[in-house]
Amino acid sequence: MNEEIAVVERQGQLFLVPTPIGNLEDITIRAVRILGEVELIGAEDTRVTKKLLAEYGINTQMISYHEHNETQRIPHIMNILVESDVALVSDAGMPGLSDPGFALIKEAIRHGISITVLPGPSAITSALPISGLPIDQFTYVGFLPRRASQRRAALQKLQSLEMTLVVFETPHRVRDMLEDVLLVLGNRGIAVCREISKMYEETFRGTVMDALAYFLKPQGEFTLVIEGADPPDALDTEIGEYLHDLTAEALPPSEAVQKAMRRFNVPRKRAYEIFLNGRKN
């Protein structure tokens, strides 16, 4: 008797594979295996990924997948995913996290494609522990807008957050960004992590003003970990002490209030109320 065999169509799987952010030894054993087994690798920059694959003797076919061609690439990758596995990588770190990938991930979810994410290197989780700032809660900001007005507006929205902030920035914009942080958020504590896991890795800890004085000619890739806002009561106390010290030096109250406004980036009304409360006490 002939046995009827049911043929089940195989569906591929999309693997999100994080890659080293500097040191090629930081890739996981599992990531090397997956990159060698999939049918295709979508790479942010094939020239960068080629070096990684060569290091581990991987010969999997690659195509470029980046923000300028993702609309054209997604249909091709989705067709391959019907039957075969595909890996997505960025130049460094986790694909989709301030790197290309979101559009493809969203499309794969829409079509019911299985997605597996591999753990691995990340500038975020590398910079936070070494910063020396509280990391029980944090907000990942990514790259702030390039235009100064938009960047300051974005910082305004983050001004009252009491949790630590994590920001990426390029070397040619990092000083402008630090100046805007000083202007909008004030002279907070900060850890500036440069070239994480690379030869010239460096972590600078201090205030925003200290960082501006130190990084006069920035080079490399930057991850900034910025102290969160003070709780309102603590900030009021600090402003009050600052105003007391200024007026004790015979500075007129109006000038003291102006200085407090600029230093702590608070409205005049709030600074003046704190001054009046200090006089009552």
Smallest CA-to-CA distance from 235 within 281, 173, 191, 186 is with 186
Residue 220 in any domain: the answer is yes
Same-domain pairing of 151 and 245: no
Percent of the chain with pLDDT over 90: 80
Report pLDDT for 273.
Answer: 85
pLDDT, tens digit (0-9, with 9 covering 90-100), for 127-181: 999 999 999 999 999 999 999 999 999 999 998 899 999 999 999 999 999 999 9
Query: Is residue 4, in this structure, part of any structural domain at all?
Result: no
Confidence of residue 280 (pLDDT cuts 50, 70, 90): low
149 and 213 belong to one structural domain: yes
Domain boundary among 117, 146, 170: 117
Of 226, 243, 266, the one marking the end of a domain is 226
Q: Residue 59 has what pLDDT?
A: 97
Q: Are residues 69 and 31 in the same domain?
A: yes
Q: Inform me whether the pLDDT recorded for 209 exceeds 70.
A: yes
User: Does the residue 113 lie in any domain?
Assistant: yes
85 in a domain, yes or no?
Answer: yes
3 in any annotated domain: no
Residue 1 pLDDT greater than 60, yes or no: no
pTM: 0.77
pLDDT tier for residue 212 given thresholds of 50, 70 and 90: very high
Least confident of 54-58, 127-131, 134-138, 259-263: 259-263
Judgement on whether residues 111 and 151 belong to the same structural domain of the protein: no
pLDDT given at position 105? 95
In terms of domains, do 260 and 191 share one?
no
Domain boundary among 117, 135, 166: 117
- Position 173 in a domain: yes
Is residue 215 domain-shared with residue 133, that is, in the same domain?
yes
Same domain, 173 and 269: no
Query: Same domain for 211 and 238?
Result: no
Residue 18: per-residue pLDDT:
96
Name the E strands within the chain: 13-16, 40-43, 62-64, 86-89, 114-117, 138-143, 164-169, 189-194, 202-207, 222-226
**Same-domain pairing of 142 and 222:** yes
Residues 153 and 170 grouped into a single domain: yes
Tell me what pLDDT residue 2 has: 40
Q: Give CA–CA dist 107/255, Å, rounded.
A: 58
Residue-by-residue DSSP string for 55-122? HTT----EEE--TTTHHHHHHHHHHHHTTS-EEEE-SSB-TTSSSS-HHHHHHHHHTT-EEEE-----
Average pLDDT, integer, range 240-269:
90
What is the helix, strand, coil percentage profile of the chain, to 5? 45, 20, 40
Q: Count how many domains the chain has.
A: 3
pLDDT of 266? 86
Domain coverage including residue 237: 232-280
CATH number of residue 111's parent domain = 3.40.1010.10
Q: Is the pLDDT of residue 4 over 70?
A: no
Query: Do 177 and 147 reside in the same domain of the chain?
Result: yes
- Dump pLDDT digits (tens) for 63-85: 999 989 999 999 999 999 999 99
In a domain, 2, yes or no: no
Q: Are residues 242 and 174 in the same domain?
A: no
In a domain, 251, yes or no: yes
pLDDT tens for residues 8-44? 355 899 999 999 999 999 999 999 999 999 999 999 9
Q: How many CB atoms lie within 10 A of CB 193?
A: 23
Which pair of structure tokens corresponds to residue 238?
Answer: 């600090």
